[in-house]
Homo-oligomer: A and B are copies of this chain.
Amino acid sequence: MAYSNRHNNNNSQSYAPSAPSFPGEQSPYTSAAAAAPNYYAHHSQSYPHGTTTTSSSNSAYGSYGQQYPPSSSSSEFPAGTHPDVIRSFQTVDRDRSGFIDEKELQQALSSTYHRFSLRTIRLLIFLFKNPNAPLTIGPKEFAALWTCLGQWQAIFQRYDKDRSGKIDSFELRDALYGIGYAIPASILQLLVSKYDDGSGRRVELNFDSFVECGLIVKGLTDKFKEKDRQYTGSATLSYDTFMSMVIPFLVSYN
């Protein structure tokens, strides 16, 4: 399938663990896109995922990830948030403003996850922040982001079999499938080519780059799906809409 986000994206709290469905199989988190029979079926048949993806992940998916009940305010942590998450946030929010910026988010994630590049940090903020707020992250968004990274890290580690801290393009395909997106081979090739350093060596992605890829695929796919409410696999866009959808994913200062 060209896109299939099996997460329910209606609420940023809902990065629930979801088993990569077999074609025709529908998990509790299968989105309407994945369920749309024609488009889904057509693309699923052509998606060459290996048995590794499906056999190993079904068992692993249930073991991590906690659903937080929705919170009515973005200035509070959702009930049930792990104390470590709250502590990570509060440690970097020194002025107790209740919001953290990109440098603070980078610091907050560095001990548990990774010291992400500012480029990835900005994508995280862009995709998780309250749409009506400036470029900062509050407790509610932080909790959602933390949960998402936990799931993505587990998936990354599953495919990084030799624990080298890197995955190749085939593993990236399966890992993106694991986080809910089955992208066509041509798109995957384009994406991976952006990480090619021209040395002739096989492209390998570290966790930072994997998260960046995941955020790009997730972000663009979700944006596109907003314009394809019937999940037909195509959408009519005005030039202004197209540019507005795309530019946030582009350059940022070094």
Q: Which residues of A contact B (CB under 8 A)?
A: 2-3, 101-102, 117, 119, 135, 183-184, 186-187, 190-191, 194-198, 209, 212, 216, 220-221, 224, 228, 233-240, 242-244, 246-254
Closest chain B residue to A239 by CB distance?
A: B2
Q: How far is the CA of A242 from the CA of B237 in the complex (A)?
A: 10
Could you say which of A216, A236, A249, A251 has the most chain B C-beta atoms within 10 Å of its C-beta?
A251
- Contacts A233-B239, A235-B237 aside, 7 further interface pairs with beta carbons under 8 A come to A187-B243, A197-B253, A220-B242, A220-B246, A224-B242, A237-B237, A237-B242
> Chain B contacts of A102 at CB under 8 A?
198
Indicate how many identical chains form the complex. Answer: 2
Can you list 6 A-B contacts with CB-CB less than 8 angstroms, sorted by A residue number?
A102-B198, A191-B247, A194-B251, A224-B239, A236-B236, A246-B249
Q: How far is the CA of A190 from the CA of B117 in the complex (A)?
A: 21
**Which one of B233, B242, B244 lies within 8 Å of A235 (CB-CB)?**
B242
Are A247 and B190 also in contact (CB < 8 A) when A233-B238, A236-B234, A240-B184 are?
yes
A250 touches B253 (CB 8 A): no
